[in-house]
Amino acid sequence: MNNIKIEELISAEVNRLSEKYKKDYLDLKDIMQITGLGRDKVREIMNSKQFPSSKFGKKKTVSVVAFVSWQFKDNMNGDIYG
């Protein structure tokens, strides 16, 4: 079995998403596409205290790095997408 470090997995996923979406910050629609969750559930997640979102005007976004790190942390805690 390969001994892949979590940092390497996070880095690879950050690179993949940044390349796919051609941006450093993700919005609601991007997260819906990535997770397969509906609008209301993604809004609930983005408004939770545990989620690393930032607000630019009225629009909430999350950096790709913060989103991927959150995904891995949430998954390791057994609470993926809440």
**Predicted local confidence at residue 39, as pLDDT:** 98
* 4 or 46, higher pLDDT: 46
**Predicted local confidence at residue 45, as pLDDT:** 95
Q: Which residue has the tokens 């959150």?
A: 70
Can you say whether the dihedral through the CA atoms of 81, 38, 36, 11 is positive or negative? negative
Average pLDDT over residues 37-41: 97
The answer, yes or no, to whether residue 26 has pLDDT greater than 80, is yes
pTM value is: 0.83
Question: In this structure, is residue 61 part of a structural domain?
Answer: yes
For residues 66 and 73, give the distance between their C-alpha atoms in angstroms, rounded to a whole number: 10
Q: What is the number of domains present in the chain?
A: 1
For residues 12 and 59, give the distance between their C-alpha atoms in angstroms, rounded to a whole number: 27
Question: In this structure, is residue 39 part of a structural domain?
Answer: yes
**Predicted local confidence at residue 5, as pLDDT:** 86
pLDDT tier at 80, thresholds 50, 70, 90 = low
Q: CATH number of the domain at 31, please.
A: 1.10.10
The range of the structural domain enclosing residue 68 comes to 6-72
Question: In this structure, is residue 82 part of a structural domain?
Answer: no
